[in-house]
Amino acid sequence: MTSSVIPLGCIQKKGSASPLNRKAEVERVTNETNIRVSVNLDGNGKLTANTGLPFLEHMLEQVAKHGCLDLSIKAEGDLEIDAHHTVEDLGITLGQAVNEAVGKKTSIRRYGHSYVPLDEALSRVVIDLSGRPGLSYNVNFSRSHIVGDFDVDLFFEFFQGFVNHLRCTLHIDCLRGHNSHHIIETIFKSLGRSLRMAIELDPRMKDQLPSTKGSL
């Protein structure tokens, strides 16, 4: 397995993203998948994706739109076996890309939260770009698969990979809902909005790290 970070725009080296042009590109290659993710944290909410997983692409579109991120994602995986490896590695690579684009974390708000409803469903996502990976995932689905053969268990694998490699603390709670599509869509929308809040530049924290420890 190999992962490489390809700097873009004003990024000069790992962890030194310019506040005005926070972009990164990561490629992850294993025996199971080949994934490339580009992210612009200060984008216009556009997604370009080719993963072989249309429902997951629909969810990632929610993150891009509601997070005001530009995402370009290309994935080739062993889908002839199942989607597990591809979904997990997509979460890993996206987490790596966002982590690189955020850089040193100076001048950002660090914390973000969002409640999002969709008809009967309501979900809450809270994020802390803490440097400490941790996932609290409290979601119950009424069925095992969404839109054909997409296994709902894979959403946990996606978020776990994302959290581990963004190195963030993430709390995901479905507060109510029974339609599985509605539930997961509120979660991805809420992730986009909470991430947008956390990475937003705070003029009162200019060039400061949002931590009394002096390190994140």
What 3-state DSSP class applies to 6? Answer: strand
Residue 2 clears pLDDT 90, i.e. is over it? no
Report phi then psi at 12, rounded to 5: -95, -35
Number of neighbouring beta carbons within 10 Å of residue 144:
11
- How confident is the model over 126-147, as a mean pLDDT? 95
Question: Would strands 47-50 and 70-77 be described as parallel, antiparallel, or unpaired?
Answer: parallel
Judge whether 97 and 179 are in contact, CB under 8 Å: no
Report d(CA 65, CA 141) in Å as an integer. Answer: 24
Residue 7 clears pLDDT 60, i.e. is over it? no
Report d(CA 93, CA 71) in Å as an integer. Answer: 12
Give pLDDT, residue 127: 98
Instruction: Tell me what percent of the residues of the chain surpass a pLDDT of 70.
Output: 91
Query: How many residues are there in the chain?
Result: 216
Q: How confident is the model at residue 216 (pLDDT cuts 50, 70, 90)?
A: confident
Give pLDDT, residue 123: 98
Report phi then psi at 89, rounded to 5: -70, -25
What digits encode the pLDDT tens for the residues 152-206?
Answer: 999 999 999 999 999 999 999 999 999 999 999 999 999 999 999 999 999 998 8
Q: How confident is the model at residue 14 (pLDDT cuts 50, 70, 90)?
A: very low
The answer to whether the pTM exceeds 0.85 is yes
- How confident is the model over 123-133, as a mean pLDDT? 97
Q: How far is CA 9 from CA 17, 43, 72, 114, 207, in A?
A: 9, 13, 15, 30, 20
What digits encode the pLDDT tens for the residues 75-90?
Answer: 999 999 999 999 999 9
Q: Encoding tokens for residue 145?
A: 């698969």
- How confident is the model over 123-138, as a mean pLDDT? 98
> Which domains, ranges and CATH numbers included, belong to the chain?
2-205 (3.30.230.40)
| Angle 44-171-159 from CA coordinates, rounded to 5° | 65
